[in-house]
Amino acid sequence: MLRYILKRLGLAAITLFLLSVIVFGLSQLLPGNVARAVLGQFATQEAMDSFNHQVGADRPAIVQYLDYMRGFVQGDLGLSLASEAPVWSILEPAIINSLKLAALAFVIVVPLSILGGIAAGLRADTGSDRSITIFGLSMSAMPEFVTGIILILVFTIWLGWLPVTAQWDEGAGPGTQIKHLLLPSVCLALVLFGYIARITRAGVIEAVDADYTRTAYLKGLPTHTVIRRHVLRNALLPTLAVVATQTSYLVGGLLIVEQLFNYQGIGLQIYLSAQQKDFTVLTSGLLLLGVLVLIVTLVADIVYGLLNPRIRFGSAE
């Protein structure tokens, strides 16, 4: 197991290095001049040259990259080019907000999609199975902004049950925060429901038809015992891997939902920093997102290895 974990850590480190190179390279290729974006369109060339020298933007790209990564590893993300505020003070509340939204969406979508997949798999080729499958496929095919607009029309404009914006007033309690986050969370959950439910359904059908399930029935075990001990235990292993990938999406793919519901999360902050040519905030935000995704994936790999020794030992060879 230790070899398995070390191998996953090594792959995560390589992935993070490649991500840092790609992100930094793309940020350098963005059109526009950072000094012009910060100082305004009427700034003189001398003022722009002085600003670029002050922030180090006139140095070779490799020097800028090494200097930035040295600070990133040490926890020093530098200062925002647009506001001169510490980058971490800008990104920290945005990351916390995004994690809150992702956590609530996760709590909603995972149990519902797994229960839906189990119900569909145990009643394969019935009306219930077809209804759950069609609903899941329809929600997965519908873009987040369309789902979000429909939810706003129904639950905010027509029924008046929930607020249209996900941003709450300062000092709001957990109940108020959940009320504001409910619509965007349901929007995300509906998009992910179909995929997780389909994988769960396929796993249940495969487990029901497996030899070990038939043997359990032949031994005279009750149906609920067979389903709990044999079917679900094996059917949910592929679902765990899928949940991990979708959790990564919940953390890193929130831009459209955050814009639609005016939520000050990491996705919206990265988008604004790109508009402002604020490369320090942009690069740090993308790298921190990459770190969060890698952590979630690594934890999922470890849990999956603990639950499935065949994967663990096969990967360690």
pLDDT at 284: 86
> Rounded distance, CA 95 to CA 248, Å?
14
Whether residue 188 has pLDDT greater than 80: yes
DSSP, res 219? T
Residue among 150, 151, 147, 146 nearest 162 (CA): 151
Provide the mean pLDDT of the chain: 80
- Write out pLDDT tens, residues 77-127: 877 877 778 888 888 888 888 888 888 988 998 899 989 988 888 888 888
Whether residue 262 has pLDDT greater than 60: yes
DSSP, res 278? -
Query: Which is more confidently placed, 41 or 101?
Result: 101
pLDDT at 316: 44
To which CATH superfamily is domain 97-266 assigned?
MetI-like (1.10.3720.10)
pLDDT at 32: 58
- Write out pLDDT tens, residues 228-259: 777 887 777 778 777 777 776 676 667 778 88
Number of neighbours of residue 245 by Cβ within 10 angstroms: 14
> Rounded distance, CA 140 to CA 193, Å?
7
pLDDT at 42: 66
Predicted confidence band of residue 146 (pLDDT cuts 50, 70, 90): confident
Q: Let me know: does 160 contact 271? Beta carbons within 8 Å.
A: no
For the chain, domain boundaries: 97-266
> Rounded distance, CA 312 to CA 317, Å?
9
Quick one: what percent of the chain has pLDDT higher than 90?
Answer: 0
pLDDT at 317: 43
Query: Which is more confidently placed, 50 or 41?
Result: 50
Whether residue 136 has pLDDT greater than 70: yes
Whether residue 265 has pLDDT greater than 60: yes
Q: How far is CA 171 from CA 93, 126, 167, 174, 175, in A?
A: 14, 50, 12, 10, 12
Quick one: what percent of the chain has pLDDT higher than 70?
Answer: 85
Whether residue 71 has pLDDT greater than 50: yes
> Rounded distance, CA 87 to CA 284, Å?
8
> Rounded distance, CA 316 to CA 8, Å?
10
pLDDT at 308: 63
> Rounded distance, CA 12 to CA 124, Å?
39
